[in-house]
Amino acid sequence: MISLAQTYFIEVMTIILYCLLIFVPLLLGVVMALYADRKIWAAVQKRRGPNVVGPYGLFQVPADGLKFIFKEIILPDGSDKTVFLIAPIITLALSIAAWAVVPVQAGVVLANINVGILYIFAISSLGVYGILMAGWSSNSKYPFFGALRSAAQMVSYEVSIGFVIITVLLCVGSLNLTEIVMAQKTMWFFIPLFPMFIVFFISALAETNRPPFDLPEAESELVAGYQTEYSGMPFVLFMFGEYINILLMCAMTTILFLGGWLPPIDIYPLNAIPGFVWFLLKVTFVFYLFAMVKAFVPRYRYDQLMRLGWKVFLPLSLFAVVATSSILFFFNLAPGM
């Protein structure tokens, strides 16, 4: 056993270090994203937004976090307490786990696995369990309806996200995220696959329960949806999980369509800037779009949401898969043929 410990101690320690290297910037990113979200929302509505705590209100989010930490964790009497507490942990853990394969620069990635995009797809399809478990274990009507809505919504939009990913994969010929980015050296995929870019963006909004698709937590109907019974730290875990998922979807949009860490044009002053700066800029830009959509689009009705997912996006993305593969086949452009 001692030799085993010696062999693997350093390896395990480096992996833990890498995990911290992912987790700490992610945490900072979530704090900034929360702040930006509120500021942009306020600016659209001609309000000031958070501006009291710290310079320009920058410390508002950490202050809110502190407040949540000191709040009491309330466990509802009729709830299934184990599942009730596991649910937010699962949500947060899954949302962080997906970041393990996201490349921020050429070669800068924790796990450069061959099936990277499938891994992210699998992990994000697991995300529905946190919500379902939370809704069921709360033993209350509003969380339950919120969870049912959320699960149905996520399962529906996953289908079209899957087909959009397939169209991109057809142009790349690999499931590896790094290779997906490198395939965009000549042209970012949002130019030839523009309709799919739009479908992916809207589906990403629905997948992360962002407005205008935030039916699961529609406060006018369901109080706070599946989070209704949560307070204190478990609530913060949900909140963080949700925002890390949003950032993940921004990163996915960047990697699949906006060329990842590649500069817009491969000329001197632009390609001297390190790749992760481009990556960050693009993720920030996509998040800005997310925040703007939240600010000025009214909430969908639930049947409209389902109609959009199944009757508009599914046929459209299916058609796109057929069309893309036909074009690639006839013009002999398909990679690996």
105 forms beta bridges with 108
- Distance, in Å, from the CA atom of 111 to the CA atom of 138, rounded to the nearest integer, reads 36
182 near other proteins, rule: CB under 8 A = no
43-72: which residues touch other proteins (CB under 8 A)? Answer: 46
**Per-residue string for binding with other proteins, 318-337, x by CB under 8 A?**
------------------x-
Residue 109 exposed, middle or buried by CB count within 10 Å (0-12, 13-18, 19+): buried
Using an 8 Å Cβ cutoff, are 103 and 177 in contact? yes
* Contact stretch for other proteins (CB under 8 A) within 118-126, 204-212, 266-274, 278-286: 118-126
Residues numbered 3 to 22 that lie near other proteins (CB under 8 A) are 4, 7-8
Number of residues that bind other proteins (CB under 8 A): 30
Residue 167 token pair: 């169209």
Of 30, 94, 133, 172, the one binding other proteins (CB under 8 A) is 133
The token pair that represents 310 in the structure block: 């199944």
Interhelix angle 116-137/81-97, rounded to 10 degrees, is 160
If one asks whether residue 166 binds other proteins (CB under 8 A), the answer comes out as no
Stretch that binds other proteins, among 121-129, 211-219, 225-233, 266-274 (CB under 8 A): 121-129
Q: Which 227-256 residues touch other proteins, going by CB under 8 A?
A: none
CB 215 within 8 Å of CB 153: yes
Q: Please write down the HEC assignment for all residues of 290-332.
A: HHHHHHHCCCCCHHHHHHHHHHHHHHHHHHHHHHHHHHHHHCC
Site for other proteins contains 158 (CB under 8 A)? yes
89 lies in the site for other proteins, by CB under 8 A: no
Q: Does 104 bind other proteins (CB under 8 A)?
A: no
Q: How many CB atoms lie within 10 A of CB 10?
A: 9
* Structure tokens that stand for 164 in this block: 């959009």
Asked whether position 215 contacts other proteins by CB under 8 A, the answer is no
- Residues lying near other proteins in the complex (CB under 8 A) are found at 4, 7-8, 46, 80, 83, 113-115, 118-119, 121-122, 125-126, 128-129, 132-133, 136, 144, 148, 151, 155, 158, 175, 303-304, 307, 336
